[in-house]
Amino acid sequence: MTQINSRIPEGPLAEKWSNYKDHQKLVNPANKRRLDVIVVGTGLAGASAAASLGEMGFNVLNFCIQDSARRAHSIAAQGGINAAKNYQNDGDSIYRLFYDTIKGGDYRAREANVYRLAEVSNEIIDQCVGQGVPFAREYGGLLDNRSFGGAQVSRTFYAKGQTGQQLLLGAYSAQMRQVKKGTIKLYTRYEMLDLVMIDGRARGIIARNLVTGQLERFAAHAVVIATGGYGNAFFLSTNAMSCNGSAAMQCYRKGAYFANPAFAQIHPTCIPVHGEFQSKLTLMSESLRNDGRIWVPKKKEDAQAIREGKLKPTQIAEEDRDYYLERRYPAFGNLVPRDVASRAAKERCDAGFGVNNTGLAVYLDFSEAINRLGRDVVEARYGNLFQMYEKIVDENPYETPMMIYPAIHYTMGGIWVDYELMTSVTGLFCIGEANFSDHGANRLGASALMQGLADGYFVLPYTIQNYLADQISVPRFSTSLPEFDKTEKELKDKIERIMNVKGNRTVDSIHKELGLIMWEFVGMARNKEGLEIALNKLAEIRKEFWKNVYVPGKADDLNTELDKALRLLDFIGIGELMALDALNREESCGGHFRIEHQTQEGEALRHDDKFSYVSCWKYEGEDKKPELLKEELNYEFIKVQTRNYKS
């Protein structure tokens, strides 16, 4: 059986990263100029990695699916970024951030990686302040903090409700500085379509110019994937429409393990679905749970009257409101982790207490905060979020409670990486949401931005040198090598096959059908029977694609329908991996909830004796079941226990 080597350094937890950096191999400045690195993606992870590697002197080829690196989906992150600065003097520390992250992930993450993440978190804030990121500040000038789910301290740095945008602009400025210097060559409106392997190492990519439709070849000494998550397999999610899991699937088919695909996060505070023609969902930042209180009516008849339009939420007396998170989890209240809050909302709605005309919504109410703090304070904290909500829903959240409901948001699973962020394919690295490494079965709010920038600014620049130090004598690769010819021919054959189906269904219609299957059977609550149904239905969806998809236009031209068709094929594969992984993991943990495995109170029931491992799926062929490999999770420094957010 294949052994998984995570390359975790020896020694005490708090010394592992320092010891690694002290003994890693380095590349001297002159030799860096002789080495090329491909970075796919320009979000927080990709832009920070490209900027850092360029600043160090490597030649970087940076690929962006959007028309500008400023439009990467990291821009949509609202609430904040975690760090253990302890400015509030409320008991925070690197260890506590590490522990909260491990606990929040339901003890399914790798100790060493998570501690390193907490350790470098403080450097991220200093880096971003130096770039001019306009973090919120207190009256005295110190950076302000607010609370996020799964923590009892205030450690989240923020810039109103647009933290992701401001952080991305900081990384973008560093990136563009290197573009001007010539160390980064930026390719906008390009999409990676396959990985090129030479002698068992990742040595290049084939990318499609999305404007001309041409396939182009690029070679390098190492490849870095920073393409985000795969939540759009569900069609309706909080992700931008161009977000996809294709690069991850391309790497998977070339030998990179896909780890924990079942671990997908349902975010509790999204604007509810409002029609069958909707193309995406809109997130309301978790930061709103600092001052907003979540409730449903205590009486079913009141909920029914609201659904029928006979009652307004403001007419429900205080004593007739069920602040169910505060009732069930008194120690954390509305700031429980996302998976806990999402399941609690679903439970109330399933029991008949949901609001909205669909019954699939709960209230997020700011009336108490407005009375206590004043509208001007609430507006200063969340004004742009309130404005966004009002534009979408046409209701004023200062006067009427917001309606929210859980939706697919972030994916904790992804390409497996070792401690050095290298995949099971030599020379192929993966960073940010695209890898699996730091969040276990559930990501705490404000930790995504932390991981993306930690990987790009402070981890990969060290670990990739350890690999490249042995590559300085390897000459640059020609893109006319047979391996490039073969990979491009396979791609052209696949594209030609898609174009020649000439069926009667649009790509979106098949994708929507896929999304409904995923939400119903692989969504918030899963069971053995439903997952088996999902696998059968997904096989039918794949057949339907090859029988009935219709892609208009030409392959060698601007063709957004072809772009979507290629991604849809990969989403179907991701859906199968998610269902297979969820079927195998006969326990509940974090974002993975099997209804057969729950406590008497309806909480997740883990089985640590059987499932304390990372599930690594190895590709065996198009029509073959992938092989399951296991990386055992050995907790040396913390005690594994049942999560408790009640006391």
Catalytic residues: 338
Burial (CB < 10 A; 0-12, 13-18, 19+), residue 462, is middle
* Amino acid at position 203, single letter: R
User: What distance in Å separates the CA atoms of residue 302 and residue 312, rounded to the nearest whole number?
Assistant: 9
Type of residue numbered 342? S
List, in sequence order, every residue forming a beta bridge with 215; answer none if it has no partner.
Answer: 208
SS3 137: strand
* End-to-end CA, the chain: 43
* φ and ψ at residue 429, rounded to 5 degrees: -110, 155
589: helix, strand or coil: strand
Which stretch of DSSP H or E encloses residue 36? strand 36-40
Lookup: tokens for 259: 């780890």
Distance, CA of 234 to CA of 273 (rounded, Å): 13
**Burial category of 393 from C-beta neighbours within 10 Å (exposed 0-12, middle 13-18, buried 19 and up):** middle
Looking at the DSSP assignment, which residues form a beta bridge with residue 638? Answer: none
- Measuring CA to CA, which residue among 127, 37, 30 is closest to residue 85? 127
> Rounded to whole angstroms, what are the CA distances from 266 to 232, 262, 304, 398, 406?
12, 12, 26, 26, 6
361: alpha, beta or left, given left = phi > 0 and alpha = psi -120 to 50?
beta
Q: Which two tokens stand for residue 614?
A: 């990372």
By DSSP bridging, strand 36-40 and strand 402-411 are unpaired
